[in-house]
Amino acid sequence: MAGGGDALVLMPTGGGKSLCYQIPALMRAGVGVVVSPLIALMYDQVAALREAGVRAAALNSALSWSEAQSIERQLRAGQIDLLYVAPERLLTERCLALLDAVPLALFAIDEAHCVSQWGHDFRPDYIRLSVLAERHGGVPRIALTATADATTRAEILQRLSLSGARLFVSSFDRPNIRYRIVDKRSPRRQLLDFIRAEHPAQSGIVYALTRAGVDETARFLKAQGLNALPYHAGLSAETRELHQQRFIREDDLVMVATIAFGMGIDKPDVRFVAHIDLPKSIEGYYQETGRAGRDGLPADAWMAYGLADVVQQRSLIERSDAQADYKRISGAKLDAMLGLSETTLCRRVRLLDYFGEAAEPCGNCDNCLTPPEQWDGTEAARKLLSCVHRCARASGFGFGAQHVIDVLRGKRTPKVEQYGHDRLSTFGIGADLEVAQWRSLLRQLVMRRELHVDHQRFNVLTLTDRSREVLSGRMRVLLRRVGERPAAARPGRRRVEEAQVAAGSAARPAGQVTPLEAEVFEALRAWRAGVARERAVPAYTIFHDATLRETARLMPHSLDQLRAVFGVGAAKLERFGAALLTVIAQAAGRSNGGGGGN
Express each pLDDT in 401-444 by its tens digit. 999 999 999 999 999 999 999 999 999 999 999 998 898 899 88
pLDDT tens per residue, range 121-135: 677 888 889 899 889
Higher pLDDT, 165 or 322: 165
pTM of the model: 0.70
Contact indicator for 59, 84 with CB cutoff of 8 Å: yes
Least confident of 25-34, 56-65, 276-285, 356-365: 56-65
CA neighbours closer than 13 Å in the CB half-sphere of residue 58: 22
Percentage, residues of the chain above pLDDT 90: 46
Span 528-557, mean pLDDT?
88
Q: What is the pLDDT of residues 462-489, one digit of tens each?
A: 999 999 999 998 998 888 876 655 555 5
Report how far apart, in Å, the C-alpha atoms of 147 and of each of 170, 284, 351, 461 are.
11, 8, 12, 35
- What is the tens place of the pLDDT at every residue in 304-314? 998 888 888 88
Query: How confident is the model over 161-182, as pLDDT tens digits?
Result: 898 889 988 888 999 999 999 9
Question: Residue 431 carries which DSSP code?
Answer: T
Residue 254 belongs to what H/E stretch? strand 254-257
Is a pLDDT exceeding 50 seen at residue 139?
A: yes
**What is the predicted pLDDT for the residue at 343?**
87
- The per-residue pLDDT for 537 is 80
Higher per-residue pLDDT: 149 or 206 = 206
Average pLDDT of the residues in 97-120: 86
Taking residues 345-357, report their average pLDDT. 90
Asked whether residue 20 carries a pLDDT value surpassing 80, the answer given is yes
pLDDT of 490 above 60: no
Task: Assign 236 a pLDDT band (cuts: 50, 70, 90).
Answer: very high
What is the set of domains in the chain, with CATH numbers?
A: 7-169 (3.40.50.300), 177-371 (3.40.50.300), 375-480 (1.10.10.10), 512-591 (1.10.150.80)
Residues 6+ apart with CB under 8 A from 313: 278, 280, 334
Examine the pLDDT at 3 and tell me if it is beyond 80.
no
CA atoms within 13 A on the CB side of 444: 24
Give helix then strand counts, H and E, for the chain.
26, 17
Determine the length of the chain.
598
CB 254 within 8 A of CB 273: no
Residue 189's region, left for phi above 0, alpha for psi from -120 to 50, else beta, is alpha
DSSP reduced 3-state for 182 = strand
For 51, the enclosing helix (H) or strand (E) is helix 39-51
pLDDT score recorded for residue 505: 38
d(CA 337, CA 229): 28
Contact 537, 531 (CB under 8 A): no
* Number of Cα atoms under 13 Å in the Cβ half of residue 4: 5
d(CA 16, CA 297): 15
- The model's pLDDT over 387-398, given as tens digits with 9 standing for 90+, comes to 999 999 999 999
Q: What is the mean pLDDT of the chain?
A: 86
Q: Is residue 131 helix, strand or coil?
A: helix
